[in-house]
Amino acid sequence: MHTAIKKDYSKPLSRRLLVVIDMQKDFVSGSLGTAEAQAIVEKVAAKVAKHDGKLAYTLDTHGPEYLETSEGKHLPVLHCIKGEEGHELVDSLKEPLRDALVFEKPTFGSVKLATYIAQDESISSVELVGVCTDICVVSNALLIKAMRPELSVLVDASCCAGTTTLNHEAALQTMRSCQIEVFS
């Protein structure tokens, strides 16, 4: 006697979310650009092109008063000013991410992104790539992990760049310590 196995179609299918963190012109070739950030652009674009799940990206977003903010007083370099070219995604990611979810954020981590992920239980895993490993990538990874501790949160180290190589490695170690899966 065979028992029919019923599938529950009332729940949405699980899915993987790839989040591209701050791959903006100012962080790659602009006012805060680095050779390390430039070196990962094509790797990130290839990962986005191969990804078969949902896509999202963040945009570091500031106004002209940036230098008057707490962050601006600690990092007095105008960058990612909304409406200016440096705020835009790098050219090779504009088309592949045209239909992705966008999360503008005024600071390192996006509470809106983490809240979205926390509320969407159909998301089975989240992978992060982008810049800067030691500021915005680690901040977003930790926010997501704090809001969904049982969710698989991954970071592809080969598709991330830090402010320095040492800071990149330190951030990767911090994420490993917080049960975020770091791989290359």
| pLDDT number for residue 183 | 97
Q: Which residue has the tokens 């509320």?
A: 119
At 53-91, the pLDDT tens digits run 999 999 999 999 999 999 999 999 999 999 999 999 999
| pLDDT number for residue 1 | 47
Write phi, then psi, for 15 (nearest 5 degrees). -150, 155
Summary count for the chain: helices (H), strands (E): 7, 6
DSSP state for residue 151 in the 8-state scheme: S
- What is the rounded distance in angstroms from the CA atom of residue 132 to the CA atom of residue 147? 21
* SS3 at position 25: helix
| pLDDT number for residue 47 | 98
* Contact status, residue 23 vs residue 48, Cβ threshold 8 Å: no
| pLDDT number for residue 146 | 98
| pLDDT number for residue 90 | 98
At 137-180, the pLDDT tens digits run 999 999 999 999 999 999 999 999 999 999 999 999 999 999 99
| pLDDT number for residue 112 | 98
pLDDT at 6 over 50: no
Query: Per the confidence metrics, is the pTM higher than 0.95?
Result: no
Provide the pLDDT confidence category of residue 11 given band limits of 50, 70 and 90. Answer: very low
Q: What is the average pLDDT score of the chain?
A: 93
pLDDT above 90 covers what percent of the chain? 92
17: Cβ–Cβ under 8 A, 6 or more apart, which residues? Answer: 53, 54, 55, 56, 117, 123, 125, 126, 127
Omega within 30 of 0 (cis) for the link into 159: no
At 14-56, the pLDDT tens digits run 599 999 999 999 999 999 999 999 999 999 999 999 999 999 9
pLDDT at 3 over 80: no
